[in-house]
């Protein structure tokens, strides 16, 4: 008997006899089509089933990684090109660096869910006669939180259960969110991560009133206000409108801190040295509340509050501003 090798691709005859008077088929488990990988899509190897059929397979994603050589997914990275956007190469792993993400899309309750996958759910609280309610008015997703601050004793806020240090944002970091101010009171906080007003804090306020012109300000200190390192904008935000604000602390012993408003640079400080690690594991991590008892609670809407343990680029900040709406 003459048997023709029909090739592995079809899983037919392998060119030999089976010893029973017939041509042998390619054995079960024989690779009929090798694995391949294009972009970030892996097509696993196909194998023969032993009865003359090359089995079908389902494509799989390489996740945060792009394809490597030899028809397989990468599992480590050396450059950003090894990662699928918006992931970047962090050390040897692809990731976004997003360590906490409060979409604030809830409709009721006192939990602000963390959508980063790290389980750092926030707790909504009120002081005095203040209010804190989820709202269907939003810039991203389906909702936001409406913090009804009226004074320094009446207001609402969100308490985050971890310090930036605990999140791994010890040196470089980015904090970004959308705000819609109802009443712009001096020193009302978007966020304030602190031990106290005298033992170290970092904050972002929509309106500081001690310099001209009045403006948005970020500040960080290991003691109190006299030792603050600051980044300020050149103008106040308008009320009754959505604005995107981001603070980025970059790398280096002496580094640049950048304040972005609506996707554009609004202020810089090129001589910053303090990091979240210098403050330590802050006891209070608040959205909408200040460490200073005389400062008012925030009055307005906050949406899509994000914390990254890396410095986002100007292009990434612009992308947050322009594409998430």
CA–CA dist 237, 286 (Å, integer)? 21
165 SS3 class? helix
Determine what percent of the chain is predicted with pLDDT higher than 70: 99
Confidence of residue 324 (pLDDT cuts 50, 70, 90): low
Confidence of residue 20 (pLDDT cuts 50, 70, 90): confident
Give the model's pLDDT for residue 1: 63
Quote the tokens at residue 253: 């012993």
CA–CA dist 118, 102 (Å, integer)? 11
CA–CA dist 2, 309 (Å, integer)? 67
Helix/strand/coil percent split, the chain, to 5: 10, 40, 50
Q: What does the mean pLDDT of the chain come to?
A: 95
Task: Please check whether residue 246 is in contact with residue 311, taking contact to mean a CB–CB distance below 8 angstroms.
Answer: no
Give the model's pLDDT for residue 182: 98
pLDDT in tens, 109-125: 999 999 999 999 999 99
Q: Which CATH architecture has domain 96-323?
A: Sandwich (2.60)
Phi, psi of 317 (to 5 degrees): -65, -45
CB atoms near residue 64 (< 10 Å): 21
Pairing of β 122-127 and β 60-61: unpaired
The CA-CA-CA angle for residues 57, 73, 31, to 5°, reads 40
CA separation, residue 259 to residues 31, 101, 169, 264 (Å):
56, 19, 17, 8
| Residue 103 confidence (pLDDT) above 80 | yes
Give the model's pLDDT for residue 2: 79
| Residue 98 confidence (pLDDT) above 90 | yes
Confidence of residue 325 (pLDDT cuts 50, 70, 90): low
Determine what percent of the chain is predicted with pLDDT higher than 90: 92
Give the model's pLDDT for residue 30: 94
Give the model's pLDDT for residue 213: 84
Q: Please tell me what DSSP assigns to residue 178.
A: E
Quote the tokens at residue 303: 């949406």
| Region label for 324, one of left (φ > 0), alpha (ψ between -120 and 50) or beta (otherwise) | alpha
Residue 315: in which H helix or E strand, if any? helix 314-323
Quote the tokens at residue 98: 């997003």
Mean pLDDT confidence for 159-186: 97
Q: Please tell me what DSSP assigns to residue 26.
A: P
Residue 160: closest CA among 302, 325, 17:
302
Give the model's pLDDT for residue 199: 95
Give the model's pLDDT for residue 21: 84
| Residue 323 confidence (pLDDT) above 80 | no
Phi, psi of 166 (to 5 degrees): -60, -35
pLDDT in tens, 208-239: 998 878 999 999 999 999 999 999 999 999 99
| Residue keyed to tokens 């009721």 | 108
Give the model's pLDDT for residue 50: 92
The string of DSSP letters for 195-261 reads S-SSS-EEEEEEEE-SSSS-EEEEEEESS-GGG-EEEE-SSPPPSSSEEEEEEEE-SSSSEEEEEEE
18 SS3 class? coil
Residue 277: closest CA among 245, 301, 306, 255:
255
Confidence of residue 192 (pLDDT cuts 50, 70, 90): very high
Q: Give the residue extent of every domain in the chain.
A: 8-82, 96-323
pLDDT in tens, 243-271: 999 999 999 999 999 999 999 999 999 99
Mean pLDDT confidence for 295-316: 97
């Amino acid at each position: 008997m003459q048997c023709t090798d029909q090739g592995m691709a079809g899983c037919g005859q392998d060119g030999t006899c089976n010893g029973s008077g017939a041509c042998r088929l390619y054995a079960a488990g024989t690779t009929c089509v090798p694995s391949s990988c294009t972009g970030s899509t892996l097509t696993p190897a196909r194998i023969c089933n032993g009865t003359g059929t090359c089995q079908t397979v389902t494509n799989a994603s390489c996740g945060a990684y792009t394809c490597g050589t030899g028809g397989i997914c990468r599992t480590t990275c050396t450059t950003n090109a090894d990662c699928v956007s918006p992931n970047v190469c962090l050390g040897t792993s692809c990731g976004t660096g997003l360590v906490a993400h409060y979409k604030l899309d809830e409709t009721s309750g006192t939990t602000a869910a963390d959508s980063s996958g790290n389980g750092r759910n926030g707790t909504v609280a009120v002081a005095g006669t203040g209010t804190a309610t989820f709202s269907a008015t939003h810039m991203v997703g389906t909702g936001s939180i409406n913090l009804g601050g009226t004074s320094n004793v009446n207001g609402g806020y969100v308490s985050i259960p971890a310090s930036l240090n605990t999140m791994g944002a010890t040196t470089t970091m980015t904090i970004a969110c959308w705000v819609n101010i109802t009443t712009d009171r001096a020193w009302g906080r978007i966020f304030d991560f602190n031990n106290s007003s005298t033992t170290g804090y970092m904050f972002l306020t929509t309106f500081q009133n001690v310099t001209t012109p009045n403006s948005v300000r970020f500040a960080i200190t290991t003691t109190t206000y006299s030792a603050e390192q600051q980044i300020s904008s050149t103008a106040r935000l308008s009320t009754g409108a959505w604005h995107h604000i981001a603070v980025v602390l970059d790398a280096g012993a002496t580094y640049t801190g950048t304040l972005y408003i609506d996707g554009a640079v609004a202020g810089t400080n090129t001589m910053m040295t303090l990091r979240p690690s210098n403050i330590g594991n802050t006891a209070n991590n608040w959205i909408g509340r200040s460490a200073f008892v005389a400062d008012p609670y925030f009055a307005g809407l906050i949406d899509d509050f994000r914390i990254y343990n890396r410095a986002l680029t100007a292009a990434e900040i612009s992308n947050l501003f322009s594409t998430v709406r």
